[in-house]
Amino acid sequence: QSQFSCDHPCNGPEKWNHANSKCEGKQQSPINIVTRKTLKDERLTPFKFDNYQQIFRGTIKNNGHSVQVGISHLSTVSGGGLPTSYKAVQFHLHWGNNGGPGSEHTIDGEQYPMELHIVHMKHHYTDLTTALSDPEGVAVLGFFYEQSNRANRKYEPIINALRSIKNANGNTSLLPVSLAQLIPAEQNLTSYYRYKGSLTTPGCTEAVVWTLFESPIPLSMEQLRAFSELKFQDGNSMIETYRPVQPLNGRQVFRSDG
Ligand code: SG7
Ligand code: ZN
């Protein structure tokens, strides 16, 4: 895989097609989900989350184009119409400018302020590179955020760490946190969308089973704005870290029964 290219602006999505020919593929992500064109699929049953409750002390890193937390304990997801179980590898976020539109996927043209991606790979793989050579090797669980009037206390470990990683390549340890506390309660995760797509950054590999959950995660405006305080590798404000929506090219988007 080619590494993320850091032309100006550093996130430069318009340059990605030139950065890697795979970014011109026919099954790219993100997409706009047109809900009236989605197809209800009985196989999209509830997910089974294993060990999402585990509290861990992760390291959060400003990698120059996003913030990312690696997951070194074993947490897996299965069910949800996935072909097998997948283990969590890392999570990261995409956001806008000071709480403005910033999600990668859009629903009926609506762009949410932020989007969380928990990246998983099939449980029997040991590295992402191998998983990316399998057309269903990676499963990303995507969650939208919505602006709320109240601060979300469950996000304090993440938000508080941001001030220590403003510059690219900065990293700091998180206060104890669990994956479960960062996503909506399990009973609110039965409504979701499913389609086959790609990584949203170069090399744009078409190896991703995408899930977008309907239920958003609330954050206050102040919490959302904290992400815009970060800096890209080139020193500019780390804002609008999303790739624009890509053509569906005839793909069907499915929805669960939830
Ligand atoms: C960010 O998004 C990073 C990448 C991630 C990519 O550039 O978080 O992570 C690593 C390990 O480089 O790529 C393979 C992978 O997870 C694309 O992820 S995304 O499609 O979920 N946005
Ligand atoms: Zn992402």
Known catalytic membership, residue 65:
yes
Residue pLDDT tens, the chain, 258 long: 334 443 334 455 655 555 677 899 999 999 999 999 999 999 999 999 999 999 999 999 999 999 999 999 999 999 999 999 999 999 999 999 999 999 999 999 999 999 999 999 999 999 999 999 999 999 999 999 999 999 999 999 999 999 999 999 999 999 999 999 999 999 999 999 999 999 999 999 999 999 999 999 999 999 999 999 999 999 999 999 999 999 999 999 999 977
CA–CA gap between residue 128 and residue 202 (Å, rounded): 14
User: What are the angstrom distances between the C-alpha of 147 and each of 102, 113, 188, 218?
Assistant: 12, 7, 18, 6
CA of 185 to the centre of ligand 2 (A): 21
CA of 94 to the centre of ligand 2 (A): 6
Q: Write the ipTM.
A: 0.97
| Nearby residues for ligand 2 (ion, Cβ within 5 Å) | 117
CA–CA gap between residue 95 and residue 82 (Å, rounded): 27
The enclosing H or E element of 225 equals: helix 221-226
Q: Which residues line ligand 1 (CB under 6 A)?
A: 4, 65-66, 68, 90, 92, 117, 119, 128, 140, 199-201
Token pair listed for 217: 């995660």
CA of 65 to the centre of ligand 2 (A): 10
State the pairing for strand pair 39-40/254-255: parallel
CA of 194 to the centre of ligand 2 (A): 16
Query: Which ligand sits nearest to residue 116's alpha carbon?
Result: 2
- Which of 179, 100, 89, 98 shows the shortest CA–CA distance to 143? 179
Nearest-atom number in ligand 1 for the CA of 92 is 8
| Per-residue buried b or exposed e for 125-144, using 16+ beta carbons within 10 Å of the residue's own CB | beebeebbeeeebbbbbbbb
Nearest-atom number in ligand 1 for the CA of 142 is 21
Place of tokens 């990584």: 199
